[in-house]
Amino acid sequence: MNAIVKYLKIRYILPGFALLFLIFTRCSGPAGPEIEIYSSSIEGDRLARLEDARFADDKSTSPADITVDEKILHQKIDGFGASFNEAGMICLNSLGEEAKNNVVKMLFDPAQGAGFTLMKSPIAACDFSSAGPWYSYNDTPGDVEMENFTIERDLGPDGLISFIRKAREFGTFEIETTMDFAPDWMYYSLKPGEKHIKPEYYPALAKYYSKYLQAYAENGINIGYLNLFNEAENHWYSNVTYKAIGDMIRDHVASRLKADGLTTKIQMGESCNRPEGIEKFPAAMDDPEVRKHISTLTVHGYDWDKFSSLDELHERYPDIPIWQTEVCYAKVNDKPTNVPPGAPEKMPVYDFSDGEFWGNMIMNDMKHHVSAWIYWNMILDQNGGPWLISVEHGDPDNNFQHSVVIIDRNTGEVTYTGLYYYLAHFSRFIRPGAFRVETVGGSPQLNYAAFLNSDKSLILNIINNGEGTKCKINWKDKTVIRDLKPHSITTLKWNTEKQV
């Protein structure tokens, strides 16, 4: 009797359950793709892999609501990174071999590190060419044929080529380059305001650039992009007008590179700040014989927040990518020179929370048409140096700066700054060839942007500038709700072609 009752219960209850299950699954629809989630936060996460999530049909509400639409594409992304300088290699060489390799791996390895993909390297000396006195690649006055051209110093243990080769052991990247100063003998004078290159030396300078590119190529390093001058119109540097730069490119440099079989792309810019781009580039760029040679427009970030200038620049030259190629904190003799309001008092900056400032700058540049983002010094020591002092070349005092990584040359302690982690959320996950895609929604305390990689993975970076909050992410007909930690950056990554 009991066995018969048990049989009847199973026979009639289970089909009903199966029917309810079938109805439920049909109503809920198929689950969306799995989402990888990474976080760096003031609470202690450092590029931490959090528990995966999955898109689903979720009708609940959230204080913030972001919708991602990868069908609407914006600018193509060319890369993220920082700059090679002798100062950084000096710091690396203060470490043992294993520790040195660990630092470089954390910067360039795309799986375990930041995966930098676009780097800046100076042409000869700059203010952080700290391995010796000021130098050019040809200090022989009047040698217009460049018979005494040499890159010997760059091949030394603290040299730029040695630094680049070490980085190449752990990752692949493009290099853009620029020059603070031509050889001294090409100028009328080295006095401030009189540092104009004599036009008679323009052909020799074109040959100088070409010899540099060829010499690096002979050592296995192909320079992808060439800027003629760094912050050209600054009186403490070369003090060259953009009109003169255009003349050099049109009449000398482009033809010299072509004649020498070089494919390096020519850039226009390295302006002191974003507004200078739209204010001064047209003096050269509105000449079609100059413009046809220009691959990229490059600006620096020392205005800190004039992002609307980038919109104007893009509107004027919509077919030419814009890169942000230098920015940093700097204090000369501990007096502010390049610092925004509210910046930390002491350089370098060990406090992780400072990364939020840089993360927002990167995000805002990306949302205003920037295709690549490069910080200035990648590695400095515990003093924000070492420096190269050269009064004639605009560097009369110690220039205390902040870097992506800090190496204490006395103790060997290595610090990955807040800047490192916020930048790494872009450089590791958003790869060259990606496109920024349309996003809408959000809340005042969130800053966010999304990117579609060439492998069809979607990357959504969200900076939470306030206390912990929830955020609902909408994609196609699916949603996911995430808890965002206080003062954090969160990366969500999913495959747009995979449905489970």
pLDDT single digits (tens) 442-469 = 899 999 999 999 999 999 999 999 999 9
The band of 17, judged by pLDDT with boundaries at 50, 70 and 90, is: very low
55-69, 284-298, 388-402: range with highest mean pLDDT: 284-298
> What confidence score (pLDDT) does residue 64 get?
94
- Answer yes or no: is pLDDT of 36 > 90: yes
Stretch among 291-300, 307-316, 330-339 having the lowest mean pLDDT = 330-339
Domain topology for 78-427: TIM Barrel (3.20.20)
Distance CA 252, CA 242 (A): 15
Angle of CA points 79, 284, 144, to nearest 5°:
90
Average pLDDT, the chain: 93
**What is residue 172's three-state secondary structure?**
coil
- Answer yes or no: is pLDDT of 192 > 90: no
Per residue in 246-263, pLDDT tens? 999 999 999 999 999 999
Residue 451 CB partners (closer than 8 Å, separation 6+): 77, 429, 430, 434, 435, 436, 437, 458, 459, 461
Distance CA 486, CA 43 (A): 7
> What confidence score (pLDDT) does residue 404 get?
99
- Answer yes or no: is pLDDT of 235 > 90: no
What average pLDDT score do residues 113-119 get?
99
Please state, as a whole number, how many other Cβ atoms lie within 10 Å of the Cβ of residue 319: 6
What average pLDDT score do residues 472-489 get?
97
Contact 42, 353 (CB under 8 A): yes
Note the pTM of the prediction, 2 decimals.
0.93
> What confidence score (pLDDT) does residue 14 get?
36
- Hey, CA dihedral for 364, 365, 367, 371, is it positive or negative? negative
Domain borders along the chain are 32-74+435-495, 78-427
CATH class held by domain 32-74+435-495: mainly beta
Distance CA 123, CA 496 (A): 42
Per residue in 39-71, pLDDT tens? 999 999 999 999 999 999 888 888 999 999 999
What average pLDDT score do residues 195-212 get?
97
For the record, the structure tokens of 316 come out as: 């004027």
- Answer yes or no: is pLDDT of 170 > 90: yes
**What is the share, in percent, of the chain residues with pLDDT greater than 90?**
84
- Residue located via tokens 């983002």: 373
For the record, the structure tokens of 147 come out as: 């018979």
- Answer yes or no: is pLDDT of 24 > 90: no
